[in-house]
Amino acid sequence: MCEGDPELLFCENETNSRRLYGTNAVGFFKDGISDYVVGGDLAAVNPDRLGTKAAALYRLTLPAEGLRRRLAPGTPGLADFDAAMRQRRTEANEFYDALQRDIADPDTKLVQRQAARRHAVVEAALLLRHPRVGTRRSAANPNRRGREGRDATATGCT
């Protein structure tokens, strides 16, 4: 769920072999969202709004306080956004305190945390419920829902 009325863009998380290898491949490749937003290529994203990669495109001037996004299905809007963010920050701090207890250098701790955050943003985007975008389930763990079934909460869409 995103505030406002963004344009939803979809493509596949497949390498653009046409661009990379010069083949005659046809499709909505992983660089389609960038091609659409940056290059203005309207044919780069799937007009049927299907795909394994998705983005919410906002055309606006950002207010100083930013935008609020909740990227989990079935969540109760944004009324409890601030409380949810505080809770997630507390959980993250507890996690990293335990994970990094043997690391003395604050710069090393920061680099590790930043790398994990970038990975988490991508993972949170996969939680979008769409016929072909969403939680991964396997025979070994058919009830798996993202990170232990919790809502993914973020302050922006990437």
Mean local confidence (pLDDT), 45-71: 83
Q: How far are the Cα atoms of 59, 66, 121, 158 from residue 63, in angstroms, in the given order?
A: 13, 5, 22, 18
Q: What is the three-state SS of 72-101?
A: CCCCCCCCCHHHHHHHHHHHHHHHHHHHCC
The answer to whether residue 36 scores a pLDDT higher than 80 is: yes
DSSP 8-class letter at 37: H
Domain boundary assignment for the chain: 1-65, 68-158
Report residue 26's pLDDT band, with 50, 70 and 90 as the boundaries. Answer: very high
Distance CA 94, CA 109 (A): 13
The answer to whether residue 148 scores a pLDDT higher than 60 is: no
pLDDT for 83: 86
Distance CA 112, CA 9 (A): 31
pLDDT for 49: 93
The answer to whether residue 124 scores a pLDDT higher than 60 is: no
Mean local confidence (pLDDT), 2-11: 85
The answer to whether residue 108 scores a pLDDT higher than 90 is: yes
Mean local confidence (pLDDT), 12-26: 91
- E strand or H helix at 124, and its extent? helix 106-125
The answer to whether residue 107 scores a pLDDT higher than 80 is: yes
Mean local confidence (pLDDT), 77-81: 75
Sign of CA dihedral 10, 7, 130, 150: positive
Residues 6+ apart with CB under 8 A from 125: 54, 55, 71, 157, 158
